[in-house]
Structure 1
Amino acid sequence: MILVDSSVWIDYFKGVHNAQTEHLDALLDNPEEELAVADLVVFEVLRGFSSQRTKREAQTLLLTTQVVEIGGLDNALLATEHYRLLRQKGYTIASPIDVLLASYCITHGHDLLHRDADFDVMETLRGLRTWPH
């Protein structure tokens, strides 16, 4: 399964063309790929729309993918360990949602498509798998 971070979805909905949005476009066109979005990523993405119509269109597309819940107690406890160990190595991850998302992916062996340097740190130091490999 491949989860997609808000950094990619936001660029995608803004019409930004980069490697990550092209990968997302290809994933959306390929029914063979198991694509997912985290519940808290849905929040991060949809909160930025000023127009109800474009928000509704984005929501429809987001919800065509599998939605996974990343905010439960078990994942929260694991995420605190990832965060604490990264802090000990001198890295502070800005977004708590990013730590929860990375923790979920690490625990379940899922890949993450992103455009966020904080995830690069988690890939190097905590074993996060990113997509494409």
Structure 2
Amino acid sequence: MILVDSSVWIDFFMGAQNPATRQLVRLLSDRAFTLGSADLVIYEVMRGFRPGKLMREAQSLLTALPQVSLGGLDNALEAATHYRALRALGHTIRSPIDVLLASYCITHGHLLLHRDGDFDVLETLRGLRVWRH
């Protein structure tokens, strides 16, 4: 499964053209890959919308994908371990949700499509697998 970070979804819904959004468009139309949606990523994306047609379309698309939950004790503890290990090496990840998302992907062997530099250190030092665009 490929999970998509809010950094890509937000650009996608704003109509931004960049390598990550073009890759997302390809993945959405290619049945050979399974895209998934994470609960806290949906929260990050949906909180920025004004009520209206685009908000409803975004919610419909995001909730139609297979869902994963980033919460739960096991992922919280694993994410904290990743965060502490990176902090000890001098790297601080800004978003707790990013650490939870990366931890879930690492634990479950999922790929991540993103446009956020914080994930680069998680890839290099903690084994996060990313989908290249």
Normalised by the length of structure 1, the TM-score is 0.97
Instruction: State how far apart, in whole Å, the 2-side matches of 1:65 and 1:21 are.
Output: 17
Deviation string for 1:15-52 (max 9, x for gaps)? 00000000100000012211001100000000000133
Aligned partner of 1:98 in structure 2 is: 98
Alignment of 1:45-124 (within 5 A): 45-124=45-124
- Range 26-35 or range 47-56, more displaced: 47-56
Over 4 Å off, 4+ runs: none
* Paired residue total: 133
Identity %, equivalent residues? 64
Equivalent position SS for 2:64: coil
Instruction: State how far apart, in whole Å, the 1-side matches of 2:51 and 2:15 are.
Output: 16
- Range 47-56 or range 25-34, more displaced: 47-56
Equivalent position SS for 1:63: helix
What is the one-letter code of the residue matched to 1:116?
A: D
Instruction: State how far apart, in whole Å, the 2-side matches of 1:2 and 1:20 are.
Output: 13
Any stretches of 5+ residues in structure 2 without a counterpart?
Answer: none
Normalised by the length of structure 2, the TM-score is 0.97
